[in-house]
Amino acid sequence: MTLKRVVVTGLGALTPIGNTYPEYWEGLKSGKSGAAPITRFDATLFKTKFACEVKNFDIGNFMDRKEARKMDPFAQYAMVVAEEAIKDSNLPLNELNPDRAGVIWGSGIGGLLTFQEEVKTYAKGDGTPRFNPFFIPKMIPDLSAGHISIKYGFRGPNFVTVSACASSTNALYDAFTYIRLGKADVIISGGSEAAVCEAGVGGFNAMRALSERNDSPQTASRPYDKDRDGFVLGEGAGALILEEYEHAKKRGAKIYCEVIGGGMSADAYHITAPHPEGHGITQVMRNALEDANIKPEDVDYVNTHGTSTPLGDIGEIRAIQRVFGEHTYKMNISSTKSMTGHLLGAAGGIEAIACIMAIQQSIVPPTINHFVDDADLDPKLNLTFNKAQQRNVNIALSNTFGFGGHNASIILKKL
């Protein structure tokens, strides 16, 4: 069969450095850090007292507060960015075939705050089981896609991928695959996460995964720096409208770029640690290049997983060198998590948007907070340290990897 072409026609973002996709992109270009002391709860007794929170956000500006109370923040974020992306795409909702319009979303954790609050309330009681009737619908990750589809009447493919920090890249790849196989015309895809709460920060602290640089939150996320000490927890959402090319062309849609391939793999090694030789990371990028039918030297920019952990950063760069060989020195590489923090299951959504805007504006966003070179990293690599760089980006690759050894990559191309 002849595979359909898939393009991106709409974007939406809610991030720690901007509450719309244009604001987010401006934050990336300027090297803005979203890290600051935690305001969601009293973090005085926690090892990590800062995070990359969404700022100046009021859900009442986007929906009726009564309806909002039926949703965990991760689902609220999903609704907000989906609406922005749909408006940005000028999708003619009344003219779409609803059976060929879908929602494929990603979230690594889902309603963690809801779960925490319900259990706390029960634990403070007399043992009588009193739970909010919306407890389960607010908690389960798939309700983000459910809410979006209900609002817009999309009756096509509808589900949420859960693969930790690879979740929304998996969602994008699934959406791309459904459309190219002719199973849908339009799919809203991306991801959302809202884990900045006691359980989220405390849980990651217990794993020793988070930076504890409490004296300097804004410089705490420092991928590829010698003194990196863990990731900074972020929150937010990113949405993309994926559309079959002829369908988009027929309606005169604005087209940001083409999705040309993707890949998935597993480390099959450890529940949290990356494979020391980067086998799964190497394979996922090779799978993506093969799927896109391009050569390593065709890629101009790699947006890395780059979380600012001692082991993870090195493993990914070594895998990139293995896959791209000498061309590694001719590419731009950067980690936008240095600015946004790590949005967990939503990371792939906002990082795909970073790649798309790099293609659109010929600007590679930086890896900020580089102070000390890491002797284990080749100094000839262009890791786009500290300042954005002008560059014609024809093809960009975005990597995301998750606990459990889940790896996902997506490749985007200028149309």
Catalytically annotated residue among 147, 279, 305, 406: 305
Q: Distance between CA 373 and CA 365 in Å, rounded?
A: 19
Do the Cβ atoms of 192 and 345 come closer than 8 Å? yes
Are 135 and 78 in contact, with CB atoms under 8 Å apart? no
Q: Which residues contact 385 (CB under 8 A, 6 or more apart)?
A: 224, 366, 367, 368, 370
* Packing angle, helices 73-89 and 143-152, rounded to 10: 40
Active site residue 305: yes
| Nearest C-alpha neighbor of 160 from the set 181, 188, 185 | 188
DSSP-derived 3-state class of residue 407: strand
Between helix 112-124 and helix 198-206 the angle, nearest 10°, is: 100
Helices (H), 48-190: 65-68, 73-89, 112-124, 135-139, 143-152, 167-180
What are the DSSP E strand ranges found in 278-371? Answer: 301-303, 332-334, 363-364
Which entry of 147, 247, 279, 342 is annotated as an active-site residue?
342
What single string gives the DSSP state of each residue in 135-161?
HHHHHSTTHHHHHHHHHHT--S-EEEE
Buried b / exposed e along 48-59 (16+ C-beta atoms within 10 A): bbbbbbbeebeb
Other Cβ atoms within 10 Å of 92 Cβ, number = 9
Residue corresponding to tokens 């996709």: 21
Give phi and psi for 225, each to the nearest 5.
Answer: -85, 145
275 labelled catalytic = no
Of 262, 238, 267, give the one whose Cα is nearest residue 402. Answer: 267
Q: CA 88, CA 366: separation in Å to the nearest integer? A: 26
Q: Exposure string (b/e) for 164-202, b if CB count within 10 Å is 16 or more?
A: bbbbbbbbbbbbbbbbbeeebbbbbbbbbbbbbbbbbbb
Continuous segment of H or E residues that includes residue 205? helix 198-206
Active site residues: 165, 305, 342
